């Protein structure tokens, strides 16, 4: 048994050296990851803070060649598209999760889970092609089309987290309700869901954070818009990711600075949502295990 | 706490949704009825911006425009995803067939500008002189360095650096590509057979970038780069432009005057209102060799026919006054006349 | 009815009308929702195939091997983009996998207790950055750095190798691969870390008792035990890298053809679709782009499914789940 001879094996100094080298590498790797994060977020902060102002946030994008524009229409557009997507995806995702955890027998539940996994792996540009064929071809680009694509992207995320959290609700609670003769649907609505609320919120927030920055489908579905249209989702709407994408390909330094500033707004939103989601997740785990 | 957050979030989402739906039923910001939607050429985009804001202030009608490239404009009007398309490249027979499948369309020239090469070479002189053959050689990958004898011959005495040439081209469907390749194919039979003329071609060498913005960016970021962009972009971004030899052997400065001279030298208007400025007679003095018209493509029958007629009439009429500031030459009289006749056909 | 678990005071043995409707209603609605999910995936496959069918009937399976994308001669092929996808995603995986394992080792074995949570959170935050912002950073920060520092260094040290020949360029396969590495490292790390944490403490302690160093313990216990999880996580990362359209489109340069040098500009399946779909000048080209999308869909789904199967088989507890995985998984 080679293992038993560790303590006695020669070359202890060499083994210690190798060990130290590996430990160093691992630490460097972790430092590298954190450094890259700080680099990226730092670049956004440093370069974007300068252009960020109340004026920038409250003025719509400037026309070609004019100065002094902002991203107000993009912010509103993103808010509307994401809200519409969430309105579609969160209820449906929740219902799917309820179905697989409460109602479906495993021979249906497992394929549905599988389908959700597959859906999650679909590249977002392909989802864009799908919704293009469905809603844009022959008609026109619109905020609604963008919202549908984002909802499809959100669905597996919401459903997945909801499933996990619903499965964690202690069976004793549900059994007690059943013993009292309470109908299944009431149990779900009044017992299971409220207990799982924190985790469900987590899934919703994570999904929203994910699609707020999603650009690929927007290019095909919602990148042609009227400067004056702020809120009508039947037409194209300005969105922050598209703004950043187009500004990033521009040669003008002003456009670049505006891109950084818009990126700052987007990153702040996404990171805050993520941190809040994590906090809720931790708390809901505590509640259910405690 | 969770519940409170949930209800706040729900209320917020509801408010946004109400705002969205509320505006759907009403009018969007001053427009009477839904906006006119167009897409296409990035060449005309600067002028289009001016038209959009001026037209809205005069008539309260909104025009939406997406500058996605001429290729995209043709495609979107063909599938009727937009109300009008804008393209610097006139439609080919095939494209007309496809577009007419959903009802006849016509194209009307509504602005006049040029596609200009732009270069970024440290150590090279300003106003470098180039010819069509040299440009064809560069984009064919035959001329690879800035101190090539062919370039030196046109610029005697200039100290040309040894830098490698990086040709930049449009990777998306572009009317500028059409104008540029049309010109090069006219000058160089080799270019014509190896690359051809289209809104999107396969260049044997070089770097692709999206839209006029992308090409401008690529040029400014690469030493030794040369690319082609719409005239307004080159002037707006202060790119260095070479002087291109025209059919009269001159090297006119790119701008409104030389584009106008080119347009004046050509009186032939094609059956579909297409006008090619690539083959200029040698008598055309001071004419810029890569000038190009840009067209609007509109269906004859549609529920936006009235709005289209008004807007296009505005564009070739009052809208032209914004042209010179943005380096668009005014449309010659006979082109305006042909345009008016074509507008008359819409909605009849 | 009041909310809350056990606050119903009365035994409700008799079911009233609401209950008679409620159960089937909830069952029906939730079943409908599940059907929607299934319909979505079927719809995607159907619609993409439909848009691609002109190209499929014109080019057939040969499309996969044709190295041409010429709108004038109307000859289109997927080969250059398959190449670009494989190269960029492959390099990203090659770099990200060891990196992620190293980070996970740090987080589970080396880091002081108080640092574990914060550092793990920071690494996860990297996954939350929208890809368009990574692309922006790539264009304006990483790209110039590659062109001015890294690529010339690689060229002078290893220029005899075809992959490091050619002129340094801000945009190209290598820059895209690095952006993808940044993108997928947190995903792989997250899964790997989870798996590492499930290794039974007794096994590890047993090894220490035998006098093994930490590295030896990791090599002999943690890594073999976690093999399934690591491979699964790596496949998840690969799936993500294959499907990324935006950040890659921003930094890969949009060129055609197959090029040996990593400095050269190129294209990938996803990036090409993002760049050209909207502006495709004719039906055949748009259909060819949809064909690319179909290939991409098949590729990505296969990789993802394999990943999940491996992860589930490897026995990752369903309930061990952080929000990052919620997006990745």
* Per-residue pLDDT band at C323 (split at 50, 70, 90): very low
Q: What is the pLDDT of residue C211?
A: 83
Q: Residue B249's CB: how many other CB atoms inside 10 A? A: 8
The tens digit of pLDDT for each residue in C123-149 reads 888 989 999 999 999 999 998 899 889
- Which of B13, B20, B53 is opposite residue A231, by nearest beta carbon? B20
Indicate if C72 and C128 belong to the same structural domain: yes
Rounded to an integer, what distance in angstroms lies between the CA atom of residue A64 and that of residue B175?
19
Compute the average pLDDT of residues C69-90.
Answer: 90
Contact across the interface for A138 and B52, Cβ inside 8 Å = no
- Shortest CA gap C9–chain B (Å): 23
Domain containing C292 — which CATH number? Answer: 1.10.3720.10
Q: Is the confidence at residue B27, as pLDDT, over 50?
A: no
Indicate if C39 and C171 belong to the same structural domain: no
Indicate if C45 and C193 belong to the same structural domain: no
Indicate if C195 and C102 belong to the same structural domain: yes
Rounded to an integer, what distance in angstroms lies between the CA atom of residue A100 and that of residue A103?
6
Residue C50 structural domain: 3-58
The tens digit of pLDDT for each residue in C168-211 reads 888 889 999 999 999 999 999 998 998 898 888 888 888 888 88
Contact across the interface for B98 and C283, Cβ inside 8 Å = yes
Closest B-chain CA to A78: B16
Q: Is the confidence at residue C225, as pLDDT, over 70?
A: yes
Rounded to an integer, what distance in angstroms lies between the CA atom of residue A206 and that of residue A276?
9
Q: Which chains contact C through at least 3 pairs of Cβ atoms less than 8 Å apart?
A: A, B
Q: What is the largest CA-CA distance in chain B?
A: 82
Q: Residue C219's CB: how many other CB atoms inside 10 A? A: 15
Q: Strand B243-244 vs strand B225-230: parallel, antiparallel, or unpaired?
A: unpaired
Q: Strand B243-244 vs strand B129-130: parallel, antiparallel, or unpaired?
A: parallel
C254 touching chain B per CB within 8 A:
yes
Indicate if C207 and C300 belong to the same structural domain: yes
Residues of chain C contacting A208 with CB distance shorter than 8 Å: none
Determine the residue among C1, C6, C128, C235 to mutate to test chain A binding: the one whose Cβ has the most chain A Cβ atoms within 10 Å. C128
- Shortest CA gap C147–chain B (Å): 10
| Cα separations in angstroms, C277 against A272, B171, C62, C267 | 34, 12, 21, 14
Domain boundary among C15, C33, C58: C58
The tens digit of pLDDT for each residue in B318-342 reads 999 999 988 899 999 989 999 999 9
Between chain A and chain B, how many beta carbons pairs sit less than 8 Å apart?
Answer: 123
The tens digit of pLDDT for each residue in C9-24 reads 554 545 666 667 778 8
Three-class DSSP category at A112: helix
Q: Is the confidence at residue C316, as pLDDT, over 70?
A: no
How many structural domains compose chain C? 2
Q: What is the pLDDT of residue B21?
A: 55
Place of tokens 């997006």: C327
Indicate if C33 and C178 belong to the same structural domain: no
pLDDT above 90: percentage of residues in chain C: 42
Contact across the interface for B28 and A229, Cβ inside 8 Å = yes
Indicate if C70 and C54 belong to the same structural domain: no
Whether residue B227 contacts residue B169, with contact meaning beta carbons closer than 8 Å, is answered with yes
Give the residues across from B228 on adjacent strands: B117
Contact across the interface for C33 and A92, Cβ inside 8 Å = yes
* Per-residue pLDDT band at B11 (split at 50, 70, 90): low
- Which of C6, C50, C327 is opposite residue A210, by nearest beta carbon? C327
| More confidently predicted of B10 and C69 | C69
| Cα separations in angstroms, C246 against A254, B192, C316 | 22, 34, 31
Place of tokens 């400014």: B220
Q: Which chains contact B through at least 3 pairs of Cβ atoms less than 8 Å apart?
A: A, C
The CATH T-level fold of domain A54-289 is MetI-like fold (1.10.3720)
The tens digit of pLDDT for each residue in B32-49 reads 457 788 989 988 988 998
pTM: 0.86
The tens digit of pLDDT for each residue in B296-305 reads 999 998 888 8
* Per-residue pLDDT band at C164 (split at 50, 70, 90): confident
Indicate if C44 and C161 belong to the same structural domain: no
Mean of all residue pLDDT scores within chain C: 85
Indicate if C151 and C207 belong to the same structural domain: yes
Low-confidence ranges of chain A (pLDDT < 70): 1-10, 63-67, 226-228, 288-290
Mean of all residue pLDDT scores within chain A: 86
- Shortest CA gap A276–chain B (Å): 11
The tens digit of pLDDT for each residue in B129-155 reads 999 999 999 999 999 999 999 999 999
- Shortest CA gap A230–chain C (Å): 23
Indicate if C26 and C71 belong to the same structural domain: no
Indicate if C120 and C11 belong to the same structural domain: no
Q: What is the pLDDT of residue A9?
A: 57
Contact across the interface for A117 and C305, Cβ inside 8 Å = yes
Determine the residue among B20, B22, B326 to mutate to test chain A binding: the one whose Cβ has the most chain A Cβ atoms within 10 Å. B20
Indicate if C97 and C23 belong to the same structural domain: no
Q: What is the pLDDT of residue A103?
A: 83
Contact across the interface for B197 and C72, Cβ inside 8 Å = yes
Compute the average pLDDT of residues B288-294.
Answer: 91
Q: Is the confidence at residue B279, as pLDDT, over 60?
A: yes
């Amino acid at each position: 048994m080679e293992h038993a001879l560790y303590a006695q094996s020669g070359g202890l100094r060499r083994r210690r050296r190798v060990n130290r080298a590996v430990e160093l590498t691992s630490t460097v790797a972790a430092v590298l990851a954190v450094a890259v994060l700080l680099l990226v977020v730092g670049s956004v902060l440093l370069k974007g803070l300068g252009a960020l102002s109340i004026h920038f946030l409250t003025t719509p994008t400037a026309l070609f060649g004019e100065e002094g524009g902002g991203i107000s229409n993009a912010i509103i557009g993103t808010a509307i598209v994401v809200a519409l997507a969430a309105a579609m995806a969160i209820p449906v995702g929740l219902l799917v999760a309820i179905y697989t955890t409460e109602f479906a027998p495993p021979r249906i539940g497992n394929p549905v889970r599988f389908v959700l996994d597959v859906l999650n792996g679909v590249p977002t540009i392909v989802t864009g092609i799908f919704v293009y064929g469905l809603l844009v071809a022959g008609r026109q680009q619109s905020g609604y089309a963008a919202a549908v694509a984002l909802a499809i992207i959100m669905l597996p995320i919401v459903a997945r987290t909801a499933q996990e959290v619903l499965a964690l609700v202690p069976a004793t609670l549900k059994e007690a309700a059943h013993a009292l003769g309470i109908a299944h649907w009431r149990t779900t609505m009044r017992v299971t869901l409220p207990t799982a609320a924190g985790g469900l919120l987590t899934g919703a927030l994570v999904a929203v954070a994910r699609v707020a920055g999603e650009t690929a489908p927007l290019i095909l579905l919602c990148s042609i818009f009227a400067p004056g249209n702020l809120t009508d989702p039947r037409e194209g709407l300005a969105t922050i990711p598209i703004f950043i994408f187009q500004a990033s390909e521009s040669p003008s330094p002003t456009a670049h600075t505006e891109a950084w500033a818009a990126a700052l707004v987007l990153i702040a939103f996404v990171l805050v949502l993520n941190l809040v989601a994590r906090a809720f997740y931790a708390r809901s785990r505590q509640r259910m295990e405690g | 706490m969770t519940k409170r957050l949930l209800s706040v979030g729900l209320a917020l989402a509801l408010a946004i949704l109400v705002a969205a739906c509320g505006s759907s039923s009403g009018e969007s910001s001053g427009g009477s009825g839904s906006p006119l939607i167009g897409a296409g050429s990035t060449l005309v985009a600067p002028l289009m911006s001016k038209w959009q804001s001026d037209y809205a202030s005069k008539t309260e009608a909104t025009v939406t425009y997406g500058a996605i490239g001429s290729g995209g404009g043709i495609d979107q009007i063909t599938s009727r995803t937009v109300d009008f398309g804008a393209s610097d490249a006139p439609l080919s027979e095939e494209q007309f067939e496809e577009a007419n499948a959903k009802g006849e369309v016509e194209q009307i020239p509504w602005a006049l500008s040029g596609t200009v090469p732009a270069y970024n070479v440290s150590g090279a002189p300003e106003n470098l002189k180039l010819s069509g053959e040299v440009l064809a050689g560069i984009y064919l990958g035959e001329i690879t360095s800035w101190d090539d004898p062919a370039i030196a011959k046109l610029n005697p005495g200039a100290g040309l650096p040894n830098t490698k040439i990086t040709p930049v081209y449009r990777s998306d469907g572009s009317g500028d590509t059409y104008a540029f390749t049309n010109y090069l194919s006219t000058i160089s039979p080799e270019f014509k057979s190896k690359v051809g003329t289209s809104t999107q071609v396969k260049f044997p060498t070089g770097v692709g970038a999206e839209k006029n913005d992308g090409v401008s960016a690529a040029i400014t970021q690469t030493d030794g780069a040369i690319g082609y962009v719409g005239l307004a972009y080159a002037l707006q971004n202060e790119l260095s432009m070479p002087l291109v030899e025209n059919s009269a052997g001159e090297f006119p400065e790119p701008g409104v005057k030389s584009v106008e001279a080119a347009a004046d030298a050509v009186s032939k208007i094609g059956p579909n209102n297409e006008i090619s400025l690539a083959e200029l007679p040698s008598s055309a003095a001071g004419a810029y060799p890569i000038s190009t018209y840009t067209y609007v493509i509109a269906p004859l029958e549609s529920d936006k026919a009235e709005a289209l007629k008004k807007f296009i009439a505005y564009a070739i009429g009052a809208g032209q006054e914004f042209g010179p500031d943005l380096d668009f030459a005014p449309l010659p009289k006979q082109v305006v006349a042909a345009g008016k006749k074509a507008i008359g056909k819409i909605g009849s | 009815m009041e909310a809350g678990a056990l606050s119903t005071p009365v035994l409700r043995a008799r079911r009233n009308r609401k209950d008679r409707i409620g159960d089937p209603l909830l069952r029906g609605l939730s079943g409908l929702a599940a059907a929607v999910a299934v319909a979505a995936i079927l719809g995607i496959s159907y619609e993409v195939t439909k848009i691609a069918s002109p190209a499929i009937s014109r080019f057939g399976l040969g499309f996969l091997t044709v190295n041409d994308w010429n709108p004038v001669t109307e000859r289109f092929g997927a080969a250059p983009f398959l190449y670009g996808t494989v190269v960029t995603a492959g390099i990203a995986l090659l770099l990200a996998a060891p990196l992620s394992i190293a980070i996970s080792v740090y987080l589970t074995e080396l880091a002081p207790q108080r640092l574990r949570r914060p550092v793990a959170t920071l690494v996860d935050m990297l996954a939350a950055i929208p890809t368009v912002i990574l692309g922006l950073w790539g264009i304006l920060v990483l790209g110039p750095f590659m062109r001015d520092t890294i690529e010339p260094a690689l060229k002078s040290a290893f220029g005899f190798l075809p992959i490091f020949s050619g002129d340094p360029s801000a945009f190209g396969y290598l820059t895209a691969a690095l952006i993808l590495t940044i993108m997928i490292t947190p995903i792989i790390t997250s899964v790997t870390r989870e798996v590492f944490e499930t290794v039974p403490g007794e096994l590890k302690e047993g090894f220490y008792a035998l006098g093994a160093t930490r590295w030896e313990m990791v090599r002999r216990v943690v890594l073999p035990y976690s093999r399934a999880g690591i491979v699964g996580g790596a496949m998840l990362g690969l799936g993500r890298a294959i499907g990324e359209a935006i950040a890659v489109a921003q930094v890969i340069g949009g060129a055609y053809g197959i090029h040996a040098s990593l400095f050269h500009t190129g294209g990938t399946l996803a990036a090409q679709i993002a760049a050209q779909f909207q502006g495709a000048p004719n039906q055949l080209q748009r259909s060819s782009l949809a064909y690319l999308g179909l290939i991409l869909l098949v590729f990505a789904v296969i990789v993802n499914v394999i990943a999940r199967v491996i992860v589930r088989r490897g026995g990752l507890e369903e309930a061990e789940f952080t929000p990052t995985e919620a997006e990745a998984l």
